[in-house]
Structure 1
Amino acid sequence: MKAAALLERAFAPLAAAIQAGRIPGGVLGVVDAEGNRAVRSMGQAQLVPERRPMTEDTWFDLASLSKVLFTTPRILALAAAGTIDLDAPLTSVLPDFRHYNLDNWERRVTFRQCLGHQTPFPAVFPLYTYGRDPDLLRTFLLQHAWEAGPSVYSDINFILLGLALERIEGRTIRDMDPGPGLAWSADPAQAAATEDCYWRHRVLVGEVHDDNCSALQGAGHAGLFGTAASVLDFAAARLNDSGSDALIRTPLSARRTHGWERPYEGWSGGEHCSPSTIGHTGFTGTGLWIDFERGLAWTLLTNRVHPTRHFDSGIVALRRAVGDLINTQ
């Protein structure tokens, strides 16, 4: 089925969510390996303190899509070049990581384990509550006595990978090129609004929503901005370059590859994806899925946290419904 027909069919759940007032607006895009694509928008990019319509060219805070659009490719490229060894500990680049006790478990954590979220770091940690000095917060991260727990999805993994990138390149992440069509901020007049932030005391538009990324002034787990077109460009490049991206398709666990998720019962891409599909979501209401077997990718970008995250937007069910319609034969 052509991209335009797939989009038409899969747009219905997004339209219903917007009409029901569960999310302000969104953009859905589909692309195939031949470069055929279709994009459609609906709803509002911002509700308060003013209303602005959503467009196909609206910029979104991509949130955790930063992990797979920026950090993962850079780490894998460094590994391919021999600059780092994925099975070496992070201390091969960050020798000061927990260096006051050389027997700490943190010093044995590897790059590959961080990519696959196979570490004992906590799922959530409010780093931003420890201050706004980015250099001090980086030092805190490296010296904090982390309590080991079960392996869960943790931003700490990618914050540490981001610190390794900064150490290798000798510059902050915000001074690095984020990639074609991507940026570390966006023009507020062209960006989807996110949250009316309690501690920053303003509606966030064009600046990063993630609290820890904001406090660090750039990090490896969040911070990218882009449009549906730029996300689809990234996906199309992956569909046509399976060799150099083999590791993003290589399983590390039942749910994860290097950086990405893979299909499992209840996952965000729906029930009908091929086994060779990878995907990732972002807290702000974003997502990207790439099905290598079908030569197809789709992105669903919403501002579901606007004006607050403390509301049941139904984003989990929406993502799965869109994925199911994309992949129904």
Structure 2
Amino acid sequence: MSRPMNDPRFAPLNLALEEALSRGLGSGFALGVRTQGGERFQTCLGLAQRVPTPEGLTPKHRFDLASLTKVLLTTPAVLALAAAGKLDLDDPLATHLPDVYQYDPNHPVRRVTLRQCLTHTSGLPAVEPIYTWGEGKARLEALVLQKDWAFGESVYSDINFILLGIVIERLTGQSLAALAEEAGFAVTPGPSLAVATEACSWRGRMVKGEVHDENAFALGGIAGHAGLFGTLDAVLNRADALVFGAALPPAARAAMLEKQTDDRALGWQIRHLNWSGGGLSSARSVGHTGFTGTGVWADTERGITWALLGNRVHPTRHTDVRAHHQFRQRIGNLVQGIFAN
């Protein structure tokens, strides 16, 4: 059971959260920490929705986790399939998606490996407005697979994880929504006890209880890059089980955390210069952030897991991204200062 952060030692954390609220970095925040000794602490403050009608934030509210989907669902699903012998991380996409750009057997997208997708080293673009291409999950996935993608410099890419999501559904025979539920999350939970995100011009409404990401929405509410909704407890439980627990076989967990590039393991970011988890984390730390204002981190050397969930995009995405990044770093450094010893 989690304990409240009302001890005097938590005063700097509470002050940082209150200042972020006053600066408009979100309408509400939920922060949770699990220590190496298994103690859990959490707090939430502010509003789940500021407009059109204010609604208080509670521990039972579900946040749109955005790109945390990549590390809490998609990455472990790929690693579980690898552990079961159903794929190899160095398999090209065409091994499991034989219809990917099927009219040209030599197209470079067919040679992109699953590992390259997991580490964002494929050269595929960061994002495309897939939601503008038409309607229906099957149609849009077919268009994604047949797209003549332009390759360039390796960048952080939603396309990588959309393709991985298709691989997962085909090899497991299960929908990503079903896998999300098995992992303790929800997909399109509806507005009750959901944290609001953006007033969406395309949908013509305040988005609440449906995925903020337009492409994930068009692809049925969830794709490999976005779509999970979860409470603070759900995020902490899942991250802790993946990094420290038995959610994956030991070899798969070790592979997930192994450094692949200067700033990435498989799916996860690793500590690097100016990373979101702050400069006081150990070198053996991993984490990930979500566009909506969410983040989760784990220091594997010190046994600390923490999650900071917010709604940076409410009621608009056009906010101070740099200030929010610095806020995340401040929280990470304060967590380390309190719990690292």
TM-score where L is the length of structure 1: 0.95
Query: Could you say which residue in structure 1 is the equivalent of 2:204?
Result: 201
Residue 185 of structure 1, CA deviation:
2.2
Indicate yes or no: 2:78 matched with 1:70.
no
Indicate yes or no: 2:241 matched with 1:233.
no
Q: Is the 8 A contact 2:49 2:56 kept in 1?
A: yes
Query: Could you say which residue in structure 2 is the equivalent of 1:41?
Result: 44
Residue 324 of structure 1, CA deviation:
1.2
Query: Could you say which residue in structure 2 is the equivalent of 1:327?
Result: 336
Query: Could you say which residue in structure 1 is the equivalent of 2:296?
Result: 288
Indicate yes or no: 2:197 matched with 1:212.
no
Indicate yes or no: 2:158 matched with 1:155.
yes
Deviations 1:187-225 (A, max 9, x none): 412011000001000101111000100011121110000
Structure 2: distance between partners of 1:7 and 1:63:
28
Structure 1: distance between partners of 2:68 and 2:207:
18
Residue 100 of structure 1, CA deviation:
0.7
Q: How does 1:1-329 map to 2 (within 5 A)?
A: 4=5, 7-217=10-220, 218-237=222-241, 238-241=243-246, 243=250, 244-312=252-320, 314-328=323-337
Residue 34 of structure 1, CA deviation:
3.0
Structure 1: distance between partners of 2:268 and 2:231:
20
Change (3 A) 1:285 1:61: same
Structure 1: distance between partners of 2:316 and 2:180:
30
TM-score where L is the length of structure 2: 0.92
Structure 1: distance between partners of 2:332 and 2:93:
36
Structure 1: distance between partners of 2:61 and 2:86:
37
Structure 1: distance between partners of 2:180 and 2:149:
31
SS in 1 for 2:169: helix
SS in 2 for 1:188: coil
Structure 1: distance between partners of 2:31 and 2:10:
7
Structure 2: distance between partners of 1:149 and 1:8:
47
Residue 325 of structure 1, CA deviation:
1.1
Give the paired residue count.
Answer: 328
Structure 2: distance between partners of 1:11 and 1:113:
40
Structure 2 unmatched runs, 5+: none
RMSD, aligned CA: 1.8
Change (3 A) 1:7 1:56: farther
Q: Is the 8 A contact 1:11 1:322 kept in 2?
A: no
Structure 2: distance between partners of 1:113 and 1:92:
14
User: More deviation in 216-225 or 242-251?
Assistant: 242-251
Structure 2: distance between partners of 1:196 and 1:75:
34
Structure 1 unmatched runs, 5+: none
Look up the equivalent residue of 1:235 and give its one-letter code. A
Change (3 A) 1:98 1:292: same
Residue 8 of structure 1, CA deviation:
4.4
